[in-house]
Amino acid sequence: MSRGFLTVYAGPMFAGKSAYLIEAAAHADNVLCLAPAFDVRSGQRLHSRTGVSRPARSIEEWPQDARDFSDIVIDESHFLVSPYYRGDVVADILSARDGGLNIVAGGLDTDYHQEAFPVMTRLMAAADRTVMLQARCHACGAPARWTAKKRETGHVLETGDADLYEARCDAHWTLPE
């Protein structure tokens, strides 16, 4: 059995990561789409702000039937950490890749403090291909590589959309008030 391939899409919110993942899933023949059970915004679907979506399985641990598929697409990978995920998702992904599965994973590379999400750092380091995406700054329209939180809630791992987050460039990124 040959080794699979791991592609990671990373960047700030509003960069189009989910759209790339949905596109990857559309080109796979036997694909399993996964999303963290912690993220209940879209139900059991991968959802893009472009309006496209795809059914997905909500997970808290690696699916036992993963090897029944040739391709796995994982959205919001930065959420797949304890206490929201049982086990080590990076080890699970690498084991699946070593077993011949092709995996496309996406997630935020940094939090709203500009601190790296360790799970994403590990995935990007192990990836066969990493694609860093940028959004457009909500303040000026320039390329944005940061996620900014509009108001402090006391949570680093927190779901939300434009109600809570914005993409920001270097010049306009700030911590929430």
Does residue 93 form part of some domain? yes
pLDDT at 42 over 60: no
In a domain, 166, yes or no: no
159 falls within a domain: no
Mean of the pLDDT values across residues 115-141?
98
pLDDT of residue 162: 85
Catalytic site includes residue 76: yes
User: Which of 76, 152, 158, 177 is an active site residue?
Assistant: 76
The pLDDT-based confidence of 93 (bands split at 50, 70, 90) is: very high
How high is the pLDDT of residue 11? 98
The pLDDT value recorded for residue 61 is 97
Q: Give yes or no for residue 108 having a pLDDT over 80.
A: yes
Q: Which domain holds residue 32?
A: 6-133
What is the reported pLDDT for 46?
Answer: 82
The pTM for the full model equals 0.93
> What is the reported pLDDT for 161?
79
The CATH number given to whatever domain includes residue 119 is 3.40.50.300
Tokens found for residue 111: 């939090």
pLDDT category, 48, cuts 50, 70, 90? confident
Query: Which stretches does DSSP call E strand in 84-168?
Result: 102-108, 129-132, 135-136, 143-144, 146-149, 165-168
Q: What is the mean pLDDT of residues 37-61?
A: 80
Q: Place 169 in a pLDDT band, splitting at 50, 70 and 90.
A: very high
Q: Please indicate, yes or no, if residue 82 is contained in any of the structural domains.
A: yes
Task: Say if residue 20 carries a ligand binding annotation.
Answer: no
Burial code (b: 16+ CB inside 10 Å, e: under 16) for 80-96 equals bbeeebeebbbebbbeb
Query: Would residue 175 count as lying in a domain?
Result: no
Question: Is position 153 within any domain?
Answer: no
Average pLDDT rounded to a whole number, residues 139-152: 96
Q: Report whether pLDDT(39) > 80.
A: no
Does the residue 74 lie in any domain? Answer: yes
Nearest to 57 by CA among 92, 22, 28, 33: 33
Number of domains in the chain: 1
Please answer whether residues 71 and 28 qualify as being in contact, where contact means their C-beta atoms are separated by less than 8 angstroms: yes
Q: How confident is the model at residue 145 (pLDDT cuts 50, 70, 90)?
A: very high
Residue 159's pLDDT band (boundaries 50, 70, 90)?
A: confident
